Structure 1
Amino acid sequence: MSQTFYKKGFLALAVATALGAASFAQADIKFGVAGPMTGANASFGEQYMKGAQAAADAINKAGGVNGEQIVLVKGDDACEPKQAVSVANKMVQDKVAGVVGHFCSSSTIPASEVYADAGILAITPGSTNPAVTERGLPAMMRMCGRDDQQGIVAGNYIVDVLKGKKVAVINDKDTYGKGLADATAKQLTSRGVKPVLEEGLTRGEKDYSALVTKIRAAGADVVYFGGLHPEAGPLVHQLRTEGLKDVKFMSDDGIVTDEMVATAGGAPYVDGVYMTFGADPRLIPDSKAVVEEFKKAGYEPEGYTLYAYASVQALAAGFNGAKSNKGEDAAKWLKANKVQTVMGTKEWDSKGDLKISDYVVYQWDAAGKYHQLEKQK
């Protein structure tokens, strides 16, 4: 081997090594954001993306994750389980390290099996069905409470505050809606108010006249609905227009979007509607600066916007804390440490559930806005 060839070879190796080091230093870490980006529940997907992108931008500005910049990968499952599995497989192919998602529990549950097989950490901002974290998946976590917690709050409020005596409990036959309706019915029964009607409706339908007739025949003074705004809106509209305007209507975190007003046919129809949701993170000191930034940009961070923001913060904290981009390492770190988020300090148990759930009751008004009511003592 000539000396000239050796020098050239050494130089080429040095350049390649330098380029490799530079590439590593400038590498990206991918976080998936999965949920209904299209379809009837697209407003929730928009909340997810707005919150996740703002958090990623802030974290990148502060140095990123283990020296790498966060790049978001959007996945649209349209709240359809089969599509959610396809999204999850695509996330694996794209080599995401973590996922913020999904939204509908019926999507999160099958998708999480794919993430588990690939060792990807997933934090759902909005899936509340207990089965999400009850299957022993080490890297499946959530930034929200559970249906069995939310159902207790709803049931107690119906009994203690609304003074419901004859309660109709309706669900949308989906994993989330039915699970929550069942949890609420269970709490009502434990409080001595057995539902006078338990019925399911079909997602996507708009004519609930037959169901309204059953509710009227049962003599219900309160209607509780477990499900999402595309069905809750038309149902409350028909209750109001078909002679049951004095019947109290209560639902869940699936109607925490301005789209509820549109699906109900206008602000007058949502006036007085109650719902359960986590304590409004926009009202705590930890979120003040972030909320102001959103508002300056012309966006109101309603619903799950800050939940998605906090989920990205948790992913970043987990990977940085574990000094690893492996999902199970980050999940293990998160379950052993407290994390400061835009929603305050968060802690998780061994299942991946939050140690503290803060469900409260909200009410919609005649202007088409919702506001948090005082917590029950």
Structure 2
Amino acid sequence: MQAALLGVTLGAPAALADDLKIAVAGPMTGQLANIGDQFKQGAQAAAAAINEKGGIKGRQIKLVIEDDVCDPKQAVSIANRIVAEGIKFVDGHACSGSSIPASAVYAEAGVLMMTPASSNPDLTEAATKKGWSTIMRLYTRDDGQGEFVGPWIAEKYKGKRVVILHDKGAYGKGLADAVKGKMNESGLKEVLYEGINAGDKDYSALITKLKDAKADFVYFGGYHPEAGLILRQAADQNVKFQLMMGDSIASPEFWAVAGKTGEGVMFTFPANPQARPEAKAAVEKIKASGFTPDGFTLFSYAVVEAIAQGVERAGSDDAVKVAAALKDGKPVNTVVGAVVFDEKGDIKDAKYDINVWHDGAYTAMKP
């Protein structure tokens, strides 16, 4: 797919040799294009804000938008193209199943990849074991979500019939397994553990299994297209249960698919970034453009901010030096708050909310 080069400032000239190029890689088309749009909107807003203040020591940020459709093969393909074009920094990818294979391409070329969404721990764990220093994550990890919500489920639904579902993907299965493990450690055992096929349109056999299992609570590691269909088809069969998911449904697209069957669905997400004082100006500007910065928008914004600060801190655009500078233990100031990266390239001390969908919008549950 053709890459799009964005000047991000009104009337900006074509990219110059001394411009700092950042590739924004995610699903710009396909079923998860809403996530790609969040990436793009966040990165564009961040680049514009930085460029308006003079850029990075006079260098303007230019974004190159790449579409991986959340497909592993396409992710590797565009990673190779990004490397071939001499781009040293990547804001992406989104799906863990794309980020993990693409990371090998970036690591070999010494490109800094910082994902604002991929949560499978293997991304940074494997990179660390292999000595890849330029693979980073400005987002939370599945094991962190599991530690947060697994014990909560065990306490809240003690004595209830709990089902764990996943979509067999790196993100969905990884998250479901993390939650299942901590829930089991806290004393609650599921009555059914089941993988589904992402992209299916008929989940009637699954609904029958949920009915036979007399499910009270279902935790699903997956994405909004499948979740919405499962809810609608369960409602058609008058099968009722409480659904909970991970961060993938922090988007109006979930409600667009699920409709009223999405009422009361719960999900975990990093503590509301839009409510942070650091995000106020950015949120206002993004909303003024006609876009609501839900989901991963502000995390993508924060990745661009982090890369910019890393270049300034390192005094160089050498990606290896920038990664080292970002891992020096000092806070990096972003719209999602001050973050500190550990030696693996993950952020420390991530905080979470449990959110609930109601009438087409979601809000954090009160403690």
Q: TM-score, normalised by structure 2?
A: 0.92
Q: Deviations over 1:228-255 (max 9, x none)?
A: 111111112222222222x111001111
The aligned residue for residue 311 of structure 2 is 319
Matched, 1:349 2:342: yes
The aligned residue for residue 198 of structure 1 is 193
Contact 1:164/1:222, CA 8 A, preserved across alignment? no
The aligned residue for residue 63 of structure 2 is 72
Contact 1:47/1:301, CA 8 A, preserved across alignment? yes
Q: Deviations over 1:76-128 (max 9, x none)?
A: 00010000000101111121121000000010001011111111111100000
Contact 2:136/2:344, CA 8 A, preserved across alignment? yes
User: How far did residue 163 of structure 1 move?
Assistant: 4.5
User: How far did residue 165 of structure 1 move?
Assistant: 2.1
Q: Deviations over 1:142-187 (max 9, x none)?
A: 1111001112222223223354621110000101000111111111
Letter in 2 for 1:301: P
Instruction: Give the Cα–Cα distance (whole angstroms) in 2 for the partners of residues 255 and 86 of structure 1.
Output: 27
Matched, 1:177 2:177: no
Change in CA separation of 1:324 and 1:208 when aligned onto 2, cut-off 3 Å: same
Instruction: Give the Cα–Cα distance (whole angstroms) in 2 for the partners of residues 225 and 219 of structure 1.
Output: 16
Gaps of 5+ in 1: 1-23
Change in CA separation of 1:25 and 1:258 when aligned onto 2, cut-off 3 Å: closer
Instruction: Give the Cα–Cα distance (whole angstroms) in 1 for the partners of residues 189 and 97 of structure 2.
Output: 27
Alignment partner of 2:248 out of 254, 258, 262: 254
Supply the RMSD in Å over aligned alpha carbons. 1.6
User: How far did residue 37 of structure 1 move?
Assistant: 0.4
User: How far did residue 359 of structure 1 move?
Assistant: 1.8
Identical-residue share of aligned pairs (%): 47
Contact 1:84/1:110, CA 8 A, preserved across alignment? yes
Letter in 1 for 2:365: L
* 1:63 alignment partner, SS class: coil
User: How far did residue 362 of structure 1 move?
Assistant: 0.3
Contact 1:124/1:142, CA 8 A, preserved across alignment? yes
Contact 2:158/2:188, CA 8 A, preserved across alignment? no
User: How far did residue 374 of structure 1 move?
Assistant: 2.6
Alignment partner of 1:151 out of 146, 167, 178: 146
* 1:44 alignment partner, SS class: helix
User: How far did residue 357 of structure 1 move?
Assistant: 1.0
The aligned residue for residue 128 of structure 1 is 119
Alignment partner of 1:284 out of 276, 281, 297: 276
Q: Deviations over 1:169-225 (max 9, x none)?
A: 000010100011111111111111111100011111121110111111112110010
Instruction: Give the Cα–Cα distance (whole angstroms) in 1 for the partners of residues 92 and 119 of structure 2.
Output: 12
Matched, 1:215 2:207: no
Instruction: Give the Cα–Cα distance (whole angstroms) in 2 for the partners of residues 139 and 66 of structure 1.
Output: 22
The aligned residue for residue 98 of structure 2 is 107
Alignment partner of 1:82 out of 73, 85, 105: 73
Change in CA separation of 1:210 and 1:26 when aligned onto 2, cut-off 3 Å: closer
Instruction: Give the Cα–Cα distance (whole angstroms) in 2 for the partners of residues 29 and 248 of structure 1.
Output: 47
* 2:125 alignment partner, SS class: coil
Gaps of 5+ in 2: 1-14
Alignment partner of 2:331 out of 338, 353, 370: 338
Letter in 2 for 1:83: Q
Instruction: Give the Cα–Cα distance (whole angstroms) in 2 for the partners of residues 74 and 162 of structure 1.
Output: 44
Contact 1:66/1:323, CA 8 A, preserved across alignment? no
User: How far did residue 262 of structure 1 move?
Assistant: 1.7
Change in CA separation of 1:239 and 1:158 when aligned onto 2, cut-off 3 Å: farther
* 2:342 alignment partner, SS class: coil
Letter in 1 for 2:118: S
Letter in 2 for 1:326: D
Larger radius of gyration: 1
Instruction: Give the Cα–Cα distance (whole angstroms) in 2 for the partners of residues 63 and 179 of structure 1.
Output: 41
Alignment partner of 2:87 out of 92, 96, 105: 96
Change in CA separation of 1:27 and 1:164 when aligned onto 2, cut-off 3 Å: farther
Instruction: Give the Cα–Cα distance (whole angstroms) in 2 for the partners of residues 348 and 319 of structure 1.
Output: 15
Q: How do 1:19-34 residues align onto structure 2 when only pairs under 5 Å count?
A: 27-34=18-25
The aligned residue for residue 10 of structure 2 is none
Instruction: Give the Cα–Cα distance (whole angstroms) in 1 for the partners of residues 261 and 274 of structure 2.
Output: 25
Alignment partner of 1:329 out of 321, 324, 328: 321
Q: TM-score, normalised by structure 1?
A: 0.90
